[in-house]
């Protein structure tokens, strides 16, 4: 980027805080480059403790900085954006982490058909700096906005760029994905308990297995299939369990579950655009 990024943040909940803390802790942005607005006094206190300037009114966010991160809940979005509606300038860049809200919503809401919008789908591991964010940019965005998106979201993990028509797939795979792994972890804990382990031991075994398996895939760069085959000895315990999964058509169950999440994401996007 030609000049130092200055970022305004509307909404300072868990994800907003994770991104801001990532930017500060990694030395990507100094605190004086950040402005925050959140009506919640406790969240304001958190921001001030980090040394960040807190705006007294939301409209001040766009008077100082040209890039604004929208980090509010979908049901609060219109109310949160209303103070800007008549003062929004065309050179403002919107970076949205609001789930299910398409780029076109912002263009229509502000009546700015050429508005630059960066739509993103981070996931909850961003809270510990291990997330992955899917990013889509409106056609008005340039290489400058690509760099802005990379700077912001690399602070909390990895990034991938996809066309907006694929962002609902990202939502279904990685946005909702942590819950799938948590669900599997729950089932492993329950299975261990059913066989006689204490909950504490079953929990520790399942959680560390989940964590270690993910780390192994990431660090080796090998496919999950190769790693699975390496663990699966012929005639052994792992093979027995895998064959049971296969007999229940586990892969189809996962595909259909992800597809149902994808279809729901598309429905929500249409609802937000028509509301």
Do residue 201 and residue 235 come from a single domain?
A: yes
Q: How many secondary structure helices (H) and strands (E) does the chain include?
A: 12, 8
Structural domain of 184: 176-266
165, 195, 228 - which closes a domain: 165
Do residue 209 and residue 235 come from a single domain?
A: yes
Which residue reads 């946005």 in tokens? 175
User: Is 274 a member of any domain?
Assistant: no
User: Is 94 a member of any domain?
Assistant: yes
CATH code: domain of residue 250: 1.10.3730.10
Q: How many domains does the chain have?
A: 2
Q: Which of 3-7, 147-151, 181-185, 271-275 has the lowest mean pLDDT?
A: 271-275
Do residue 102 and residue 217 come from a single domain?
A: no
Residue 1 has a pLDDT of 53
Whole-prediction pTM: 0.91
Do residue 161 and residue 211 come from a single domain?
A: no
User: Is 59 a member of any domain?
Assistant: yes
Band of pLDDT at residue 159, cut at 50, 70 and 90: very high
Question: What is the average pLDDT value for the chain, to the nearest integer?
Answer: 93
Residue 87 has a pLDDT of 76
Structure tokens that stand for 69 in this block = 């991160």
pLDDT in tens, 170-188: 999 999 999 999 999 999 9
Rounded Cα gap, residues 75 and 164, in angstroms: 21
For residue 111, how many other CB atoms are within 10 A of its CB? 10
CATH code: domain of residue 51: 3.40.50.720
Contacts for 76-80 with beta carbons within 8 Å, 24 or more apart?
76/11, 77/101, 77/272, 78/109, 78/275, 80/10, 80/11
Rounded Cα gap, residues 137 and 102, in angstroms: 11
165, 200, 231 - which closes a domain: 165
Average pLDDT over residues 189-205: 98
User: Is 251 a member of any domain?
Assistant: yes
The proportion of the chain whose per-residue pLDDT surpasses 90, expressed as a percent, equals 85
Confidence check: pLDDT of 2 > 70: no
Average pLDDT over residues 205-221: 97
Do residue 30 and residue 108 come from a single domain?
A: yes
Residue 275 has a pLDDT of 66
Band of pLDDT at residue 3, cut at 50, 70 and 90: low
**CB-based burial label for 53 (10 Å; 0-12, 13-18, 19+):** middle
């Amino acid at each position: 980027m030609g000049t130092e990024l200055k970022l305004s943040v509307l909404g300072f909940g868990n994800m907003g805080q994770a991104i801001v803390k990532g930017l500060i802790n990694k030395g990507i942005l100094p605190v004086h480059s950040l402005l925050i607005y959140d009506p919640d006094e406790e969240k304001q206190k958190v921001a001030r403790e980090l040394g960040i300037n807190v705006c007294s009114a939301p409209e001040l966010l766009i008077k100082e900085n040209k890039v604004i991160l929208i980090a509010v809940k979908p049901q609060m979005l219109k109310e949160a954006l209303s103070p800007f509606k008549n003062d929004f300038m065309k050179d403002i860049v919107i970076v949205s982490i609001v789930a299910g809200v398409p780029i076109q919503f912002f263009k229509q809401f502000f009546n700015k058909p050429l508005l630059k919008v960066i739509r993103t789908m981070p996931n909850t591991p961003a809270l510990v700096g291990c997330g992955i964010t899917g990013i889509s940019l409106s056609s008005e965005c340039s290489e400058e906005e690509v760099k802005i998106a990379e700077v912001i979201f690399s602070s909390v993990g990895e990034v991938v760029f996809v066309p907006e028509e694929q962002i609902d797939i990202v939502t279904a795979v990685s946005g909702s994905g942590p819950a799938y792994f948590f669900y599997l972890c729950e089932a492993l804990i329950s299975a261990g308990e059913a066989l006689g382990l204490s909950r504490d031991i079953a929990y520790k075994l399942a959680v560390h297995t989940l964590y270690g398996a993910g780390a192994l895939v990431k660090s080796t760069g090998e496919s999950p299939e190769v790693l699975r085959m390496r663990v699966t000895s012929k005639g052994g315990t792992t093979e027995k369990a895998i064959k049971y999964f296969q007999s229940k058509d586990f892969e189809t169950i996962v595909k259909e579950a992800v597809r149902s999440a994808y279809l729901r994401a598309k429905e929500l996007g249409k609802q937000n655009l028509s509301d």
